[in-house]
Structure formats: structure tokens, C-alpha cells
Amino acid sequence: MLKYVLGLLLLLPHLAMAGEARNVNFAAFQKVDKGFEFEAVVEGKFSDFIAAMRGSQILALAHTAGAIDGDVITLQTSVLRDESGNLGDFGIDCQLSFKDESVGSDPSYLLGGLCKVIQVGRGKNVRDTLFIPHTNIPDTSQGFDGWFMLDEDEKTGIAFYANVSVSE
């Protein structure tokens, strides 16, 4: 019985801090056109966002429903391949923490963490770990449809974007 009471006491501060759940939308793109430049803010609906990314290819797209303050969002996508007895690996692996710093009716959401970029094989040997500082991301339910860039790794030409929306 004591362990259940202790468990409840540990959980109570988190329940009290929990705000309204949000959907966290995250995307990663890589340049394919050397003249293409990523923009810090891309305004518009999802279709506008995708259209603005011409000159790049999508590496990952995630929609995480029901995120609350303190959640860690993980995303991994890669291609593993046997290349003449050696393992090739191309992809990204991210662990991002979601922060809700809203005060009253003034929403404020942050997303940041670590993303590993792996490009091993086919003549490449890139293993970068990017620290993405907590960055404000827009809440589309507040009248601004758009995506904010979290970070760009110029070495690999990969950019990370995010926004939040109301969880239904």
C-alpha cells in the first residue's frame, strides 16, 4: 500500500502541471538542389509548407498527438543496407523535449533536444549529433498557420521544422 501512496505522491506534481494537450508536428528535410535555401519561418497550411520545400527531400514527418509539458518525443528513420559485407546506415534519430510555458491565455511552446544524423556507406562516414536548443514553435490554433525552423545542419543540408496544434 505504501508504494502506491508514494507513486501517487510522485505523480501529483506532474498532474498539476499538465496543461492542455497539443499535437506536436515535426519535419526534417534535406537539400537536393544546391541553390535551395531553407527559410526560418514558412507560413501557410501544410500544403504551402510542403510546396515551399521544393529543392529538398523529406526525410521524416511526424504528428505526435496529445503531448503535454515535459514529454519526450522520439523519432527515428533510417535505411540499413549490407554493402559488400559492411553495414550502411542513412537516417536521423531525434529525442526532443516538449515544454509548455503558457501563462493564462498566452500560449508558449518550446521544442528542443538532440538529433543524430547518420550517413555511413556509399563513400560517406558522417555521424553528427546536433544539439537543438529549445525553440519557440507556433500554435496553429492561435491564428498563425506556419512552421518554425528549429535548426539546420549546413554540413549535411538537413533542416528541422515544427509547430503545434490543438489535440482533439
- In tens, the pLDDT along 98-139 reads 999 999 888 899 999 999 998 887 777 888 899 999 999 999
Sheet holding 124-137, edge to edge: 72-83, 86-100, 109-121, 124-137
Mean pLDDT of 77-84: 79
Please list the residues that pair with 110 across neighbouring strands. Answer: 99, 136
Higher pLDDT, 104 or 7: 104
The answer to whether the CB of 92 falls within 8 A of the CB of 75 is yes
Report field, pTM of the whole predicted structure over 0.85: no
Grid cell, residue 1, equals: 500500500
Q: Is 160 exposed, middle or buried (0-12, 13-18, 19+ CB in 10 A)?
A: buried
The pLDDT mean for the chain works out to 85
